[in-house]
Amino acid sequence: MGTKGISLSEILDRLEAFHGSQEPCWPTDPYLFLVWWYCGYPASDKACIQGYDSLKKNVGVDPEQLLKAPIKKIASALKPGGMLPELRVLRLKELASEVTHAFGGDLRAALAGPLRETRKKLKQFPSIADPGADRILLFASLAPLAAVPSNCVHVPVRICHGQESGNYSRDYRKAQQQIEAEVPAKFDARMRAYLLLKRHGQELCKRTNPKCPDCPVRRECEYLKRK
C-alpha cells in the first residue's frame, strides 16, 4: 500500500479522474526526444515545444540537416525556445554528430542491449542523468522502467510518505520503489503513472506553495496530515 489507507494505484485513478487522461507532448523516439529537449532553455514543456516546432519548420531535425545548417540559422530558429540559443545549437550539433558517427544514424537501434549499457550511452549526452535516461527508455518502449518525472519526484514521496528528505537521489529512488512495487511493469501502466504524477506536480502538488485544498487525494496525503 502507498499509504495506510490508499494504494498508489488508487491515487493514480483519482489523479486521472481529476486531471484527465494524459499524453506525452514530446517525441518518443530517443533521438528526437533529445532534439526536443535541447530546443528549450530553461527546459520546460512549453519552451521545448516552441523551440522544436520552430526548428522543425525552419531547419529540420534530422542529423544531416542539423550538421549542414549554419549556426546562425539554427540559433535563430531556436529563439522561441528561450535563452542561450547558441549553447543549444552546439548541443544539437554534437548530438547530430554523435548519432551519425557513433551510432550509425540510428540511436534507437543502438540502445538495444543490456540496461546498464543503454543508460551509459544516453548519459553521455549533456543534461541527461538517470531520470532522463529512464524517461527516454520508457517512452521509447525500450524498457518498462519505473521512471519518475525529474521535477516532480516529491509528488509520490509526499503523498505516500510525508515530507521529502531533501536528498534528491534518495527521494528519486524512494519514488521509483513505490512505482516498482505497485504499478505493473508494463509500458502503458508506467507511462500513465509518469504522466499523471508529472501533471499533478505541475498543477497542484508544486514544490513550493502546493495547492493542497484542491488536491483530489488530500484526505489520504501523508504530507498534508503532518503539516
Question: What's the pLDDT tens digit per position in 128-141?
Answer: 999 999 999 999 99
CATH of domain 8-22+146-225: 1.10.1670.10
Q: Over the chain, what is the mean pLDDT? A: 94
Place of cell 540496461: 115
Predicted local confidence at residue 2, as pLDDT: 43
Predicted local confidence at residue 4, as pLDDT: 52
Contact 194, 183 (CB under 8 A): no
Of 71, 117, 112, 111, the closest CA to residue 94 belongs to: 71
pTM exceeds 0.85, yes or no: yes
Cα–Cα distances in angstroms (integers) from residue 72 to residues 15, 78, 88, in the given order: 44, 10, 12
Give the residue extent of every domain in the chain. 8-22+146-225, 30-139
Of 173, 150, 148, 174, the closest CA to residue 162 belongs to: 174
Dihedral over Cα of 15, 20, 23, 26: its sign: negative
Question: What's the pLDDT tens digit per position in 45-90?
Answer: 999 999 999 999 999 999 999 999 999 999 999 999 999 999 999 9
Place of cell 505541475: 202
Contact 190, 144 (CB under 8 A): yes
Q: What is the mean pLDDT of residues 114-122?
A: 95
Q: Decide if pLDDT at 1 tops 50.
A: no
Q: Decide if pLDDT at 214 tops 60.
A: yes
Question: What's the pLDDT tens digit per position in 88-115?
Answer: 999 999 999 999 999 999 999 999 989 9
Which three cell numbers mark 171?
Answer: 527521494
Q: Looking at the domain 30-139, which fold is it?
A: Endonuclease III; domain 1 (1.10.340)
